[in-house]
A and B are shown apart, each in its own frame.
Chain A
Amino acid sequence: EDKVVQSPLSLVVHEGDTVTLNCSYEVTNFRSLLWYKQEKKAPTFLFMLTSSGIEKKSGRLSSILDKKELFSILNITATQTGDSAIYLCAGGSGTASKLTFGTGTRLQVTL
C-alpha cells in the first residue's frame, strides 16, 4: 500500500523564522512529488518535483526531492502569519498521476 509520511505533525514558529517540513514516501510506480497548501478548503498547488536534487523555488518557498532516499523537504524562509496553514505532501503514481497524500503539517506562525 502506498504511504506518505509527513513530519512534524504541527509546528508553531514566530514570524521571521525559517521552517523545514519533511515528507517521506513509499509509492509504487512513483512519478512525482507534490506540495500543497491547505488553508480553509481546497489544497492549493505549490510545487511538483520529478527530478532529484533540483530545487524548485517560489518566493520564500523552496522544495527539493531526493529519489534515492524517497524524501522531500519544503522550506519557508522569513515566515509570515499568512503562511499559517496545513502543508500537504502527495506522491503521484500510475498512468493518471493518482495522488497519495500525507496527513499534513499544521504550521502556525505567530507575531
Chain B
Amino acid sequence: EPEVTQTPSHQVTQMGQEVILRCVPISNHLYFYWYRQILGQKVEFLVSFYNNEISEKSEIFDDQFSVERPDGSNFTLKIRSTKLEDSAMYFCASGGGQLRRMNTEAFFGQGTRLTVV
C-alpha cells in the first residue's frame, strides 16, 4: 500500500542551525502538507502546497520556515535558524489524487522528531 515516507526519523540539532526535513509523498497526490506536534500538544497545521506553490500557511510558518518540491518526488521543510521551541514531531502529509479536488483525506508519514539543543 502506498505511504508517505519521511527522513530522518529523528534529528538532533544545535540552536541556530539549519535543518531540512524530507518527505516523499504518495506518488499520485497533488496536495502536500506539513504539520507539527509539540510533545503532549495537539497536531498543528504549518503549510499546504499545491501546484508548486504555497496554498495556505499558519502563523507558525514564519520567515524561518520554507518548503520546496525540488523534483517530482521529494517535498522538504527547511528551518533556517532553529530555536528551542521548534522541538517537535514534524509530520508530512499528502492527499488528493489526479481525479480528486478538495475534500480529500490527508495521509500522514511517520514523522521526524526534531530536538533542538
Partner-B contacts on A (CB < 8 A): 31-32, 34, 36, 41-45, 48, 50, 88, 90, 92, 94-104
Q: Which of B42, B56, B111 contacts A103 (CB 8 A)?
A: B42
B49-78 interface code vs A (CB 8 A; 1 in, 0 out): 010000110000000000000000000000
Taken together as a complex, chains A and B put the C-alpha atoms of A101 and B35 apart, in Å, by 10
* Residues of chain A within 8 A of B55, CB atoms compared: 94-96
Is there an interface contact between A96 and B103, defined as CB atoms closer than 8 Å?
Answer: no
Taken together as a complex, chains A and B put the C-alpha atoms of A103 and B105 apart, in Å, by 19
Taken together as a complex, chains A and B put the C-alpha atoms of A31 and B31 apart, in Å, by 15
Contact count A vs B, C-beta below 8 Å: 69
Describe B's contact surface by its main secondary structure. strand
Is there an interface contact between B45 and A97, defined as CB atoms closer than 8 Å?
Answer: no
Q: Which of A41, A100, A103 contacts B89 (CB 8 A)?
A: A41
* Residues of chain A within 8 A of B42, CB atoms compared: 101-104
Interface residue? B95 (CB, 8 A)? yes
Taken together as a complex, chains A and B put the C-alpha atoms of A88 and B37 apart, in Å, by 12
